[in-house]
Homo-oligomer: A and B are copies of this chain.
């Protein structure tokens, strides 16, 4: 099936780019060296989504859970996130970073992106979860955080820390694991979940196409 034959284009794709550390070890590098090899795949994926007319793309950058890892690793994945945003800020994209800015784990360079910034025609929304935590996200429902202003009875989604991110149609996870690992629990409620066994730095366009082809055959019931 060619791209042009695809009738169902997901409006919002979520990406879990897992396997950087395993890839580094397999390739004789220390674990933290893997993250830098995830940048090129991310940019290529962005280009493919732009070409295909996907409206929104969200990358699972790093989580508050992840920050418990050794500092060599946390420094490396923080840098990879900063670099990714920087590389896209020269392109055609509307960028948003979502995460807990109140902790030192949040890279200062990304603070300006916590309000959406449009580059070029901003044809595609590209979101990065950076120092994101599912507990942090859901805690806004409890009105513990600044968004308590947004507290709106009956509309959970609007009360989340991640309220600016829409429902996700298709999640693609690289690295073989079949779990969500805290990725936007509310937006992924009805998402179709496609797993690529290859590790993220081994990204090939074919992975993405296969995921989209599989998606063609899924129905949308929204739980109905």
Contact = CB atoms under 8 A, between A and B. Distances in A.
Interface stretch (A44-52, A75-83, A190-198): A190-198
B142 A181 contact: no
Chain A contact residues (Cβ within 8 angstroms of B): what range? 35 or more
27 contacts: A65-B222, A65-B223, A66-B224, A68-B224, A134-B189, A138-B138, A138-B141, A141-B142, A142-B143, A142-B151, A142-B153, A142-B156, A143-B143, A144-B153, A177-B192, A178-B193, A178-B194, A179-B191, A180-B188, A180-B190, A180-B191, A180-B193, A181-B189, A181-B190, A181-B223, A182-B190, A193-B193
A177 B181 CA distance: 19
A94 interface: no
Interface of A: 63, 65-66, 68-69, 134-135, 138-139, 141-144, 151, 153, 156, 159, 177-182, 185-186, 188-194, 218, 221-224
Stoichiometry (number of copies) = 2
Contacts of A185: 185-186, 189
Contact of A65 (B138, B156, B179, B224): B224
Given A138-B156, A180-B189, A185-B189, 6 more contacts: A63-B223, A65-B224, A138-B141, A138-B186, A178-B194, A181-B221
